[in-house]
Amino acid sequence: MKIANKPIKSYLLIVLALTTFFGYASDPVKSQDGGIVDTEQEVKDYILHHLKDSHDFHLFSYTSDGERKHVGFPLPVIVWGENGLTTFMSSAFHHDDAGHVIVEKNDSRFVKIHSKIYELEEGATTVNFDDHHHPINAHKVLDFSITKSVFGILIIGLLMLLWFSRLAKQYKNKSIPTGFGRVLEPLVVYVRDEIARPNIGDKHYRRFTGYLLTVFFFIWIMNLVGLMPFGFNVTGQLAVTAALAVLTLIIYTFSAKKDYWQHVLWMPGVPIFVKPVLAVIELAGHFLIKPFSLLVRLFANISAGHIVVMSLIAIMFTLKNELGTVGATGLSLVLSFFITLIEVLVAFLQAYIFTMLSALFIGMAVEEHDHH
């Protein structure tokens, strides 16, 4: 399908970039003095605020009668404190003038400070801070809450389960995929034939193709959704990328052949006094360097992309005095538009790299060496 002799995907990229720009531009938050974010420091704080996870889901903001209003919905707070498991909705942490509302539940008092939930000591009714604004009469709790990132993971996970269940059902019935399945099929074949099979080998690749497909589509979709102004910065959370890297670590550790461990622990063909040194290096590479490279590469690239896009959009606020409102907005629009198009490519590229490296590490572990 073409419009004016141009592929429709080009228009989709333009719509995505413009949506990102106007969505971020129209989504300022309150500064410390209650005004709209428009200074350099306030923009930096807002960018960091956007990259962090949160206990509620924010859709958009608007101004009515001079008051800034935020539209969204609360998410469940699930914490384990001194009195056991406690649950309530995040709307209980509504902001007052002080910014710290104490929630009394299950004979305990909870307060949220810098997006972290604390439990006040017994008998305390207010939060006391030290010189570095750290609470001195409260301690952190085990937080199992359904945060914005967890909510995004659940939604995308359910969508993937629905999409691929339908695709598998069509294959089972030996029919040609229809609907959205026709979009998924070439990508599934690509991951199988261009990533799994060459790196793992014809003998073992089928065992791990399901995992590689899962991480590829999960990371790719999450990266794309993260480009939306109201999206989830899931792959920009270190805990998420670390969890994905640990899953890969577990798979290639428990799937490794005896021959692989022999090469790791007692490298053949080298002097015996060098073998212990190589064993330490190989073990460090297996348990630390490989998973660390996976988690840091994905986390750093996605977070950097968000920071660059939002920083370019913020030009309209930080340079409006020098360039004027029209000039600053135009410059911001042009720069952020092209960077967003690059980020669409990066979203796919990072999913591809993570999947490729995972397949490579698994292939190294299950490879069978021929000894002469």
The tens digit of pLDDT for each residue in 130-175 reads 887 788 889 889 999 999 999 999 999 999 999 999 998 888 887 7
Whether the predicted pLDDT of 186 surpasses 60? yes
pLDDT value at residue 142: 93
pLDDT tens for each residue of 34-72: 445 556 677 777 777 778 888 888 777 777 777 767 778
Segments making up each domain of the chain, as ranges: 76-143, 148-366
pLDDT in tens, 169-180: 888 887 788 888
Residue 14 is predicted with a pLDDT of 56
Q: For the whole model, what pTM was predicted?
A: 0.84
Taking only the tens place, the pLDDT of each residue in 206-220 is 999 999 999 999 999
pLDDT attached to residue 297: 94
Whether residue 329 is predicted with pLDDT greater than 70 in this model: the reply is yes
SS (H, E, C) the chain: CEECCEEHHHHHHHHHHHHHHHHHHCCCCECCCCCECCCHHHHHHHHHHHHCCCCEEEEEEEEECCEEEEEEEECEEEEEECCEEEEEEHHHHCCCCCCCCCEEECCEEEEEECCEEEEECCCCCCCCECCCCCECCEEECEECCCCHHHHHHHHHHHHHHHHHHHHHHHHHCCCCCCCCHHHHHHHHHHHHHHHHHHHHCCCCHHHHHHHHHHHHHHHHHHHHHCCCCCCCCCCCCHHHHHHHHHHHHHHHHHCCCHHHHHHHHCCCCCCCCCHHHHHHHHHHHHHHHHHHHHHHHHHHHHHHHHHHHHHHHCHHHHCHHHHHHHHHHHHHHHHHHHHHHHHHHHHHHHHHHHHHHHHHHHHHHHCCCCCC
- Provide the pLDDT confidence category of residue 260 given band limits of 50, 70 and 90: very high
